[in-house]
Amino acid sequence: MQINILLTILVGLVIAISIYLGFSRRQRHLQRQRGTAKRGWRYTNSLLHSLFRTDYVIAGRIPDRTIWEMRRTHKRGLLLFIWTTSDAPLPYGLIRIRPRRAATAHSSQPDIQLAVWQNKSWQQPILSDYMVLTSHQQLGDRFLTQEVALALSYWPEWPLPGALEEVTWDHHILEIQVRHFDDWATVDRLVILGTALVSSPVIGNQ
């Protein structure tokens, strides 16, 4: 008799928790739909997907018609926002931007054939927390504008939630990784940085 009562209670708890989780995920699904619609973006997940999976995708378009996609996903054991576009590739080479602390943490995996980019206009205290590596000095000179410098300002310190993890830009794709933080400010900051990078005045004159 006691076993039956305990089993009934256990089953009831499982059902209650499942209902609560389903309701919470439905609410987050609706909040993301409203938040993305307000910003002119598109939340691509279905309600069914949102009920059973924690990853999701947001897509949008920059005024110059560049299409981008942002995923919340796990990578290397971290929960990340990963923003990508293949509509604005570099003409050649590679640019990589990392917080200096992250670059130090990954120093056991050196970047082959990349050099630290030097530019006097970027020597501001707010940017001293970043390391910019390029395969060619002129790539940084062409594509790392003051708008990009401004968009890199005021991010949380790495490795706090919402901190920039890495920017990788080559002749195939631009990818920005940010440590997940469940707020719209982090997503907005990420999209602003991506927009600044692909909106270089010379990007269309390659």
pLDDT-derived band at 51 (thresholds 50, 70, 90) equals: very low
CA distances from 37 to 32, 44, 58, 65 (A): 8, 11, 10, 18
Report the range out of 19-33, 57-71, 117-131 with the highest average pLDDT: 57-71
pLDDT-derived band at 76 (thresholds 50, 70, 90) equals: confident
pLDDT-derived band at 177 (thresholds 50, 70, 90) equals: very high
pLDDT of residue 112: 58
Which is higher by pLDDT, 80 or 44?
A: 80
pLDDT of residue 113: 72
The encoded tokens of residue 32 equal: 């993301």
The encoded tokens of residue 36 equal: 């993305």
Residue 147: name the closest of 198, 96, 99 by CA. Answer: 198
Which pTM value belongs to this model? Answer: 0.80
Share of the chain above pLDDT 90, in %: 37
Any idea which of 13-27, 32-46, 99-113 has the lowest mean pLDDT?
13-27
pLDDT of residue 107: 55
pLDDT of residue 186: 94
The encoded tokens of residue 194 equal: 């991506």
- In what side-by-side order are the strands of the sheet with 42-43? 42-43, 56-61, 67-75, 78-85, 174-179, 164-170, 94-99, 130-134, 115-116
pLDDT-derived band at 17 (thresholds 50, 70, 90) equals: low
The encoded tokens of residue 89 equal: 């590739």
**For the chain, domain boundaries:** 1-54, 55-198
pLDDT digits (tens, 9 = 90+) for 99-155: 988 866 665 455 657 788 877 777 666 677 888 999 988 898 889 888 998 899 889
Q: 203: Cβ–Cβ under 8 A, 6 or more apart, which residues? A: 88, 143
